[in-house]
Amino acid sequence: MRQPPGELLDPHEAEVRPDGPATVRSGQKLHHGLLLRNITGQELTIATSGQVTAVVVDPQTGQVVGGFAGAQTLVGIYSFRPASWATGSHQVGESQGVRSCVLFRILQTVRWPLLAKQATVVPAGAIRSEHAAAYVDESYTDDWFTMAALLVDGPAAVALTEAIDRVATAAAAAYGLDAGVELHGHEIFHAKGAWSDVPVRARVGAFDDVIEAVAGQDVRVIARAMDVVGQRARYNRPDPPHTVVLQHLLERVDEYVTSLGEYALVIADEVDGQAKHRADLSSYREVGTIGYRHRKLTRIVDTLHFAPSHASRLVQAADVIAFLYRRVFTNQETDERSRKAKIAMWNRLQPRVHHQLCWFPSPSGQQPLWARDFPIDAQRAR
């Protein structure tokens, strides 16, 4: 009996991709992983046997040149909630009853040369691995201090590194830069260092391409900031802003991975006082953090690792995010095009932002200056 064709998956409801590269030889059969992510805000129901049959196509012509023939189990009904996911060869999701049925016919929307099996549902709100790396960098002025953590699992780390490499390679080829040019937010934005002779449109484009690369991966961003003026107004002997904001950031990283039953390894850009930051983390793990959100950081493994930003595309990505975060929320643009451009970048990144918050230590600080560019958009929306 031949299964009749069904409706295609709606690309606005689900994202599907193979779980890594796959190669199949002529006359051979391949079982490979498939990743399915519910990108709606509601439960999504599909019909699948847990096995999806793909066809082999000629990449030059798109014509079918091979495929699979044989018996297969008929479909069952599975429902995927936007905040739930399953992993494993035996499970696609828990059956929640039939609401709407969409036949899982991937081969007509994306042609993959494999016999795909064991679909894994990846939600919009969680990274897939039980172990994550958090890449951390900061951006600051005399008045504001911001920091961002980019949380990635292994597949996302590899894919994002390759994507950012392509951004750097394209800029290098077009403007005579070194192939390993560093994508540093401050230098790109202000035409400093290697970017000093690159036209403004090209620099904005490179910056935007980094944000686009981050937004295109299943990653999470945690961003923290502090009003340094308010801190100085409140405390006679304030702690270094880096120490304070890093503690706030690590609390949120630990809280997030704990909620997922995961662990995180933190890799930060090289800074002064590395030994002090490592000692602080040990104290946070054994005694707990300082302040009203006191908690022991039990899900951040090992110690703090520091890497030179020029050697890590993911530290560079964290740097660009931290710079954008500070620029968007603490700087009021005088040029309308600049205002629209930076807010468009932040809005593109926003779905990946798990948490962002600025601490204002004193009522006599700079709270009225935070996010001044956003009310303009809000007024126009009304």
Per-residue pLDDT tens listing for the chain (382 residues): 444 445 566 666 676 766 555 666 565 566 666 666 666 656 666 655 555 666 666 665 656 666 655 555 444 444 445 433 333 333 333 333 332 323 232 222 222 233 332 333 344 445 545 568 999 999 999 999 999 999 999 999 999 999 999 999 999 999 999 989 999 999 999 999 999 999 999 999 999 999 999 999 999 999 999 999 999 999 999 999 999 999 999 999 999 999 999 999 999 999 999 999 999 999 999 999 999 899 999 999 999 999 999 999 999 999 999 999 999 999 999 999 999 999 999 999 999 999 999 999 999 999 999 999 986 544 333 3
Q: What is the Cα gyration radius of the chain? A: 24
The strand order across the sheet containing 263-269 reads 305-307, 263-269, 131-140, 144-152, 220-227, 353-359
Percent of the chain as helix, strand, coil, to the nearest 5: 35, 20, 40
Count of residues in the chain: 382
Provide the Cα torsion 140, 372, 135, 273; round to 10°. 20
Q: Is residue 232 helix, strand or coil?
A: helix
First and final C-alpha spacing in the chain:
57
CA neighbor of 253 nearest in space, from 127, 139, 370, 160: 127
Domain ranges of the chain: 14-121, 131-381
Tell me which DSSP letter residue 103 carries: B
CATH code at 131-381: 3.30.420
Q: Where are the beta strands (DSSP E) in 159-300?
A: 220-227, 263-269
Within 8 A by CB and 6+ apart from 269, the residues are 136, 137, 138, 306, 307, 308, 309, 315, 318, 319
